[in-house]
Amino acid sequence: MLLSIALLVMLLSITATPISSLTYTNALISTDAPDPGCMYDPPTKQFYCAHTCNGEGALCTNDSGNFPIYSSSDLTSFSYVGVAQPPYTDGWAKDRFWAPELHTSPNGEGYVLFHTAGNEEGNLCLGVSTSMNITGPYTPSDEPLLCNSDEHNPNVGLIDSTLFVDKDDSNKPYLIYKVDGNSNGTPSDIKIVSLSNNATFVSDKNVTNHVTLISNDVNSWEGPCTEGPWVYDDRSKSGYLFLFYSGSMYNVVSYSVGVARSKSLLHGWEKSPHNPILHVGGSEDSGFSGPGHCSVIENEITDGDELAMIYHAHVGYNVPTVDSERYLMLDFVRINEEGWPEMVNGDGTPSEDEQEIL
């Protein structure tokens, strides 16, 4: 066994294409860093990620919405910068501060931090904070961005918000989010609604009226849940918008990333026949499992055609539980000749060896 591994390593090192000067090895953050929301910030020429703080570890004191921020100049490694905002104690949000995302404000004035949180009634809602500085401190809005007020299904919360700015339509901003249907056995729809130009206000608060982009297929790999949406606009190249999402449950080995595409934002979404595109390997030797909740961004430093997918994964094969740590991971995506995104790392599993920054 050892001998054959040694032989394989030798063969690989002879046949592998030359590695560029920039390389990385997963994980990029080897501590609990779930639900990474990442962006590239042109003014500071840095990549930034925020992540859910589960009240574990030195940087996450408790479930108080302070959200750690990390930065990177080249995606080879990330450094802790600070927390996005002070502990949130007297606003509408009370607990379950999840899934932060940092975005440039669509009106060009500073930055927005989107996140999930439970309100006083115990319902999961979507919140927004703003700052003129990418690293904060962010100031939370007095009111939630959106809560579910649908009288037909009042106990279903809203989670996992993302921002999409439609460059083909005067930079019109949209909020895309998940109806948390798997919490009560109803569909976990990914929905969309338009936002104000400062991305802090939704005028149509009736979730029933919002367009559904995709929903979970219980008989597929997705099972009860589709969540963690992220839209990447590739219309100028392949002609498609891509909606990356996670399916199955976050606390199982088979949590995975899938993708859907459409030529139009509000309708016509079809899921990839190759889903899930990122998933655990077949062997119990897999170093990482349950990959999901990705951000997909251009690598503005190398300017390559491939896209950087930053996501979280559990460490080891059989570890996922609701409490196990999720590390921050990177792998690259390319758009194939049929116009479908696929992982550059051939078999679609989280990479474990040294990889090139593309």
Binding site for ligand NAG (CB under 6 A): 61-64, 82, 87, 89, 133, 135, 149, 151, 196, 198, 200-201, 206, 208-209
**Phi, psi for 258 (deg, rounded to 5):** -120, 175
- From edge to edge, which strands make up the β-sheet containing 68-72? 37-41, 46-50, 68-72, 79-83
Q: Which is nearer to ligand NAG, 20 or 206 (CB)?
A: 206
Sign of CA dihedral 41, 242, 100, 104: positive
Structure tokens that stand for 335 in this block: 């758009």
Min CB(206)–ligand NAG separation in Å:
4
Angle at 39 between CA 261 and CA 296, to 5 degrees: 25
Q: Which is nearer to ligand NAG, 73 or 209 (CB)?
A: 209
Min CB(222)–ligand NAG separation in Å:
26
Closest to 227 (Cα-Cα) out of 250, 260, 261: 250
Min CB(13)–ligand NAG separation in Å:
41
Cis peptide before 99 (omega within 30 of 0): no
Q: Which is nearer to ligand NAG, 114 or 245 (CB)?
A: 114
Min CB(158)–ligand NAG separation in Å:
14
Q: Which is nearer to ligand NAG, 82 or 339 (CB)?
A: 82
Min CB(262)–ligand NAG separation in Å:
24
Report which DSSP code applies to 3: H
Structure tokens that stand for 242 in this block: 């891509």
**Distances in Å between the alpha carbon of 296 and those of 68, 148, 196, 273, 313?**
19, 27, 24, 20, 15
Structure tokens that stand for 356 in this block: 């090139």
Residue 162 contacts residue 98 (beta carbons within 8 Å): no
Min CB(233)–ligand NAG separation in Å:
23
Q: Which is nearer to ligand NAG, 80 or 221 (CB)?
A: 80
CA gap 128, 106 in Å, rounded:
13
Q: Which is nearer to ligand NAG, 199 or 328 (CB)?
A: 199
Min CB(130)–ligand NAG separation in Å:
7
Angle at 313 between CA 33 and CA 212, to 5 degrees: 90
Q: Which is nearer to ligand NAG, 144 or 228 (CB)?
A: 144
Half-sphere CA count of 96, side-chain side, radius 13 A: 15
Structure tokens that stand for 158 in this block: 């809203």
Q: Which is nearer to ligand NAG, 111 or 250 (CB)?
A: 111
Min CB(193)–ligand NAG separation in Å:
12
